Amino acid sequence: MSARDTAEIGLNRFARRGYDLDEVSIVPSRRTRDVDDVSTAWQIDAFRFDIPLVTSPSDAVISPETAIAVGQAGGLGVLNAEGLWTRYDDPAPVYRRLRDAGAGGAPPVALLQEVYGRPVQPDLITARIKEMRDSGVTTAVRVSPQHTLQFAPAALSAGVDLLVIQGTIVSAEHVTTQGDALNLKEFIADLDVPVIVGGAANYQTALHLMRTGAAGVIVGVGADSFSTADAVMGIRVPLASAIADAAAARRDYLDETGGRYVHVIANGRIETSGAIARALACGADAVQLGEPLRVAAEAPGGGIWWDSVAAHPRLPRGGASAPVEPVGPLEQVLLGPAATADGRSNLFGALARTMAKTGYRDLKEFQRVDLVIGGRAD
């Protein structure tokens, strides 16, 4: 690491300089293209998608019905296999309680902890996956690393297409003295379905996760405007730098294996179409979105947002938001037309236009776009 990459924060203590997405800008090239000649498609394993979207597995924005709608719009909807839809036969009353509690502001964290106190029912995991599969879309569910061995078998036996093993921070080697630890490499080697794992925060972790045999690695800790991970745990990941690190790990792993490509999926405070473009320009293959989808009319939370860690029974690391009014159907949020100029609708139509303005035909080409460091956009 060169001297320009580090700053001395005290005698013999150095910190690496990192950059967030809003500190990075995309530089147009000498060429432009017609937007109709641009492709935002990407493919992971045998599954092709029209837009580089993997949804956050938050019950605020994803139900089986909205996961289907995301799939029909060209993205990948990920249902939380440890969420409300697998704890309750009918979670509608729970959503009503949350919306009623949020009528005058944000629902309290204690209420989130209460409604997530009911145990997960494996038969409901099977039922929800069947509902999604019957629609014909690619199906994906998320399990936490600590509960993968407990709940993944139900998802796999139900015929899920992609398994997402996701926590705030995930490593290839978890050390514990309390029972058996999940060995990701052994677990993935025994599966017939592709696995996406994460989050990773640096080059070394991303490379280790790639070596487990994962088809995709989630980069970032998922922090958004309502996350308190920084205040609670002191953990913050400058996402532009983390993506670039993971992209370097992807390149080195490609060389190491003689051609095995692992997808990098960026996750964390990606809330506008401009942030989506910057994340892909830094080297991501796709982005994971949650909070931006709460403005869709189909969002089951009715405009309220919370991440799964907000309901942690012992250490919540985020809160719920106050409800917002929907801006339109999910398809409009993702594909337009936009009715506002704030970058929060037509998210992937805007990406296509950015690619056209900078002259790139597809996402792999767009990862080579020039970047410049500047001040915050706001």
What backbone torsions phi and psi does residue 35 show, to the nearest 5 degrees? Answer: -60, -25
What backbone torsions phi and psi does residue 165 show, to the nearest 5 degrees? Answer: -105, 105
User: Percentage of residues in the chain with pLDDT exceeding 70?
Assistant: 94
- Mean pLDDT over 143-157 rounds to 94
Where do runs of H (alpha helix) occur along the chain? 64-73, 92-101, 109-115, 122-134, 148-157, 184-189, 203-210, 229-233, 239-257, 273-281, 330-335, 347-358, 363-366
What backbone torsions phi and psi does residue 79 show, to the nearest 5 degrees? Answer: -90, 140
Q: How confident is the model at residue 1 (pLDDT cuts 50, 70, 90)?
A: very low
pLDDT of 300 > 60? The answer is yes
- CA angle, 27 as apex, 21 and 29 as ends, to 5°? 150
Closest CA to 287 of 274, 297, 300, 301: 274
pLDDT of 179 > 70? The answer is no
Under 8 Å between Cβ of 226 and 310? yes
Under 8 Å between Cβ of 265 and 282? no
Under 8 Å between Cβ of 358 and 366? yes
C-alpha 243/C-alpha 295 separation (Å) is: 26
203 residue type, one letter: Y
- SS3 of residue 151 by DSSP: helix
- SS3 of residue 265 by DSSP: strand
C-alpha 3/C-alpha 232 separation (Å) is: 31
Name the pTM for this structure.
Answer: 0.93
Per-residue pLDDT at 183 = 86
Per-residue pLDDT at 364 = 97
Per-residue pLDDT at 47 = 98
| Residue written as token pair 């907000």 | 310
- Mean pLDDT over 236-257 rounds to 96
Q: Which helix (H) or strand (E) holds 53?
A: strand 53-55
Q: How confident is the model at residue 256 (pLDDT cuts 50, 70, 90)?
A: very high
Residue by residue, what is the 3-state secondary structure of 6-20? EEEEECCEEEECCCC
DSSP 77: -
Under 8 Å between Cβ of 25 and 240? no
C-alpha 304/C-alpha 321 separation (Å) is: 5
Comparing 208 with 308, the larger pLDDT belongs to 208
Q: Which helix (H) or strand (E) holds 97?
A: helix 92-101
Q: In the structure encoding, which two tokens stand for residue 59, read together?
A: 């019950």
Q: How confident is the model at residue 375 (pLDDT cuts 50, 70, 90)?
A: low
Q: In the structure encoding, which two tokens stand for residue 66, read together?
A: 């909205």
pLDDT of 345 > 80? The answer is yes
- SS3 of residue 177 by DSSP: coil
Q: How confident is the model at residue 177 (pLDDT cuts 50, 70, 90)?
A: very low
pLDDT digits (tens, 9 = 90+) for 55-88: 999 999 999 999 999 999 999 999 999 999 999 9
Tell me the pLDDT of the chain averaged across its residues: 91
Q: How confident is the model at residue 103 (pLDDT cuts 50, 70, 90)?
A: confident
Q: How confident is the model at residue 173 (pLDDT cuts 50, 70, 90)?
A: low
Q: How confident is the model at residue 175 (pLDDT cuts 50, 70, 90)?
A: very low
Per-residue pLDDT at 15 = 86
